[in-house]
Amino acid sequence: MCGIAGVINRKKTVNVGEQMRLMLQGLKHRGPDSTGYAMYGTPKKKGFVMRFKISENEAEKVNAVVDSPEQLKDRKSQVDAIMKKHGAKITKQSSSTPYAFRYEFDFKGDLTDLATEVETVEKAEILSIGKGLELIKDLGDATTVADQYGLGKFMGTHGIGHTRMATESDVDIKSAHPYWAFPFEDVSVVHNGQLTNYWGNRRVLERKGYRFNSNCDSEIIAVYIADKMANGIELEKAMHDSLDELDGVFTYVVATKDQLGMAKDYMAAKPMVIYESKDIVACASEEVAIRNIFPHEIKTYDPYEAEVKVWQV
Amino acid sequence: MAGIAKRENTAFSDENLTGRTQKLYFSATEEENYTYYGNVDVDFNKRTSIDCTDLEARELNQKIRDAMNKGYGTVVIKNPGAKHSLGVGILNKLNVIFEGSLGYFGVGCIDGPTVRIKGRVGWSCAENMMAGKVLVENNAGSCFGAALRGGDLIVKGNAGARTGIDMKGGTILIGGNAGAFTGFMMQRGRIIVCGDVSANMGDSMYDGMIFVGGDVKSLGSDCVEGEMNEYEIRWLEQKLNNAEISSKTPVSKFKKFVSGKKLWNYDNLEPSERKGILG
């Protein structure tokens, strides 16, 4: 029982960070373990934004391996060296925690090669690379994470988010949602449910050369969509295909640089409520989350089984 | 009534009941056998309103109960804000009006009240309702009327998947469409859908009836079409009138679906009825 939410503002840039925080805080009771945001700011004309981490949050306790500041510093300099080697020029860098960083960089080469090599550094994981996408995930509820990473004033058009109750894998950042569709810029996924043919699909995709960082079943949706898009299949078509090719009970939300989409399985076992208006579309596991950004009465509906919807910015 | 007369002669009042709830709420005295637990007299003309903006579900439900105990018969709830578990467990005649949407498990486990919801309801609205009438003016989520035991449950818009799952009595009326697995494992009662129904309707149903005005995408396991009779057409007309639903399809064109009785062998007597028959 996780909580998922997505919001898309049509043709205007607003404080989407605050919108997402309010919605995810309203879903806290569906999953208090970790919270993740995938937010889309104004796309950069030049260069990329990369979010990555080089260690785990120590608060996870059970599996926590505390890394020393020297280890973290060493790993960061290894990442910097690899970026330099590939010709990526870091123009701006910042960090909110000792283990998570945000880089802005100019780059003209192959993103896949760069991303693959960065991840060869011990414990390094790229959370996202994109022109607009910034993916933030950490342990704690929506407000904790938003405050930690300063999301209260994130201006953008759309975003998706997730509050996690861990059922299939560990409570740590690498198993938290959203998942970036490695190595495709600006594609991210959040998911609520269980996938039953995870290992079968994972073996197929691994043979094609895709990387898996966690044992979380939701990661496969991101990789699956990425694989489809690599073959030139449109997002909406890929989502329709996923209904037949992924087994289990699921509702998931996908975002790209200018689209937001949702898909629900044949059993309609996982909830989703949608509010659509001329200016904004909001979807969440529960209406109470949407009502956190619309205090007045609104007209909402549940999508039916096997329904796929895609909205444009 | 024969059953009650008979009980007086048995050792019913000497029955030694165990279990915490039984001891707290049930004493086998004669008065208790003729009245409901916690039943109070209310005046429907006495009206009060409660603002739910800053209230938790538990606080609001307690306030409804307090108003009821003071004799208020009409309770208006303002700004319910799609919160979960509002208006649950009302075991009394009461007129409740929600001026907005409810979240999950709205008005669950109720016995008697008349509820009007001027908005939408989330999952599992009116689950386990024993009696009364619930009218939803907008759409409803999945598991609408799960395990319904009695009363009328009405939604003017669309209802989600698994509407009337496991229902054991009462009537569900849907003005719009219904989702997949409508009437899943239903054991008794009736579902009326004026619009279309998605896949696997009436899957594994034991008994009961589903009336559909629109198209059915597919029937579930052991659900078959039945024949409508004159009485049922009249009953449908009356029910839809009472529910303030005007169906696009004329009532005479509705189709009726029942269990094929191939999957289950179900004894549809209540335990008390069975006891009466067996002596």
pLDDT in tens, B81-111: 999 999 999 999 999 999 999 999 999 999 9
Looking at the structure, do residues A236 and A272 belong to the same domain, yes or no?
yes
In degrees to the nearest 10, what's the CA dihedral of B104, A4, A172, A128? -170
DSSP secondary structure string for all residues of B162-227: TTTTT-EEEEEEESS-B-TTTTTT--EEEEEESS-B-SSBTTT--S-EEEESS-BS-B-TTEEEE-
Closest CA to A40 of A260, A192, A226, A295: A260
pLDDT at B262: 86
pLDDT at A96: 87
Max CA distance (Å), chain B: 57
> How many other C-beta atoms lie within 10 A of the C-beta of residue A292?
21
Measured on CA atoms in the order B27, B33, B36, B41, is the torsion positive or negative? Answer: negative
Average pLDDT over residues B20-44: 67
Q: Helix crossing, B2-9 with B271-278: angle to 10°?
A: 70
Residue B4 in this model has a pLDDT that exceeds 50 = no
Looking at the structure, do residues A95 and A154 belong to the same domain, yes or no?
no
Q: What is the CATH number for A156? A: 3.60.20.10
Show the domain range for A20.
3-37+143-312
Looking at the structure, do residues A124 and A260 belong to the same domain, yes or no?
no
Looking at the structure, do residues A50 and A33 belong to the same domain, yes or no?
no
Chain B residues lying within 8 Å of A290, measured CB to CB: 82
Query: Which of these three, A104, A130, A156, is where a domain ends?
Result: A130
Query: Which of these three, A78, A106, A130, is where a domain ends?
Result: A130
Closest CA to A29 of A138, A165, A137, A147: A165
Query: B148: Cβ–Cβ under 8 A, 6 or more apart, which residues?
Result: B126, B127, B128, B129, B164, B167, B168, B169, B170, B172, B189
Tens of pLDDT, residues B140-169:
999 999 999 999 999 999 999 999 999 999
pLDDT band at B18 (very low <50, low <70, confident <90, very high): low
Query: B114: Cβ–Cβ under 8 A, 6 or more apart, which residues?
Result: B93, B94, B95, B96, B132, B133
**3 state DSSP class of B99:** strand
Q: Which residue has the higher pLDDT, A211 or A139?
A: A139
Looking at the structure, do residues A82 and A226 belong to the same domain, yes or no?
no
Please give the single-letter amino acid code of residue A95.
S
Task: Give the A-side interface with B, CB within 8 Å.
Answer: 266-269, 271, 273, 286-288, 290-291, 295, 297-302, 304-305
pLDDT band at B8 (very low <50, low <70, confident <90, very high): very low
Judge: B101–A300 Cβ closer than 8 Å, yes or no.
yes
Backbone angles phi, psi at A67, to 5 degrees: -95, 140
Looking at the structure, do residues A27 and A122 belong to the same domain, yes or no?
no
Residue A131 in this model has a pLDDT that exceeds 70 = yes
In a domain, A294, yes or no: yes
Per-residue tokens: A183: 């190595």
C-alpha distance from B163 to closest chain A C-alpha (Å): 12
Tens of pLDDT, residues A140-165:
999 999 999 999 889 999 999 999 98
pLDDT at B51: 96
Distance between CA atoms of residues A254 and A239, nearest Å: 9
Judge: A287–B198 Cβ closer than 8 Å, yes or no.
no
Distance between CA atoms of residues B125 and B146, nearest Å: 8
Please give the single-letter amino acid code of residue B212.
V
Looking at the structure, do residues A305 and A191 belong to the same domain, yes or no?
yes
pLDDT at B162: 95
Average pLDDT over residues A193-204: 93
Angle in degrees, CA B267, B270, B274, rounded to 5: 75
In a domain, A284, yes or no: yes
Task: Give the B-side interface with A, CB within 8 Å.
Answer: 81-84, 100-101, 103-104, 119-120, 122-123, 138-139, 141-142, 157-158, 160-162, 179-181, 198-199
Looking at the structure, do residues A151 and A277 belong to the same domain, yes or no?
yes
pLDDT at B166: 94
Distance between CA atoms of residues B147 and B168, nearest Å: 6
Distance between CA atoms of residues B163 and B181, nearest Å: 7
> Is A2 part of the annotated catalytic residue set?
yes
Identify which of A273, A298, A305 has the shortest CB distance to residue B198.
Answer: A305
Looking at the structure, do residues A292 and A165 belong to the same domain, yes or no?
yes
pLDDT at B5: 41
pLDDT at B28: 61
Distance between CA atoms of residues A188 and A292, nearest Å: 23
Block residue for tokens 């373990």: A33
In a domain, A135, yes or no: no
Angle in degrees, CA A244, A248, A187, rounded to 5: 70
Looking at the structure, do residues A125 and A157 belong to the same domain, yes or no?
no
In a domain, A272, yes or no: yes
Average pLDDT over residues A97-122: 91
Query: Which of these three, A130, A151, A184, is where a domain ends?
Result: A130
H helical segments located in A92-176: 111-118, 142-148
pLDDT at A168: 74
In a domain, A138, yes or no: no
Backbone angles phi, psi at A72, to 5 degrees: -65, -45
Distance between CA atoms of residues A35 and A175, nearest Å: 11
H helical segments located in chain B: 2-9, 20-25, 30-34, 57-69, 230-242, 271-278
CB contact at 8 A, A31 and A124: no
CB contact at 8 A, B79 and B98: no
pLDDT band at A66 (very low <50, low <70, confident <90, very high): confident
CB contact at 8 A, B197 and B217: yes
pLDDT at B6: 42
In a domain, A125, yes or no: yes
Mutation for testing the A interface, residue in B101, B105, B123, B196 having most A CBs under 10 Å: B101
pLDDT at B11: 43
Average pLDDT over residues B27-39: 66
pLDDT at B210: 97
C-alpha distance from B184 to closest chain A C-alpha (Å): 12
In total, how many domains does chain A have? 2
- Average per-residue pLDDT for chain A: 91
CB contact at 8 A, B125 and B136: yes
ipTM: 0.88
Length of chain A: 313
Looking at the structure, do residues A153 and A278 belong to the same domain, yes or no?
yes
Looking at the structure, do residues A153 and A279 belong to the same domain, yes or no?
yes
Judge: B180–A266 Cβ closer than 8 Å, yes or no.
yes
Looking at the DSSP assignment, which residues form a beta bridge with residue B211?
Answer: B192, B256
Looking at the DSSP assignment, which residues form a beta bridge with residue B72?
Answer: B43
Average pLDDT over residues B203-226: 94
Residue B13 in this model has a pLDDT that exceeds 60 = no
In a domain, A137, yes or no: no
> What Cα–Cα distance (Å) separates residue B217 from each residue in A243, B181, B190, B206?
18, 11, 19, 20
Per-residue tokens: B220: 């579930």
Mutation for testing the A interface, residue in B120, B144, B182, B217 having most A CBs under 10 Å: B120
In a domain, A136, yes or no: no
- Average per-residue pLDDT for chain B: 87
Tens of pLDDT, residues A69-78:
899 999 999 9
CB contact at 8 A, A139 and A170: no
Judge: B180–A304 Cβ closer than 8 Å, yes or no.
yes
Residue B14 in this model has a pLDDT that exceeds 90 = no
Q: Which residue has the higher pLDDT, A62 or B185?
A: B185
What domains, with CATH codes, occur in chain B? 1-35 (no CATH), 47-264 (2.160.20.60)
Q: Which residue has the higher pLDDT, A109 or A240?
A: A240
Q: Which of the given ranges, A226-230, B36-40, B49-53, has the highest pLDDT on average?
A: B49-53
Q: Helix crossing, A219-230 with A198-207: angle to 10°?
A: 40
CB contact at 8 A, A211 and A230: no
In degrees to the nearest 10, what's the CA dihedral of B235, B237, B238, B239? 80
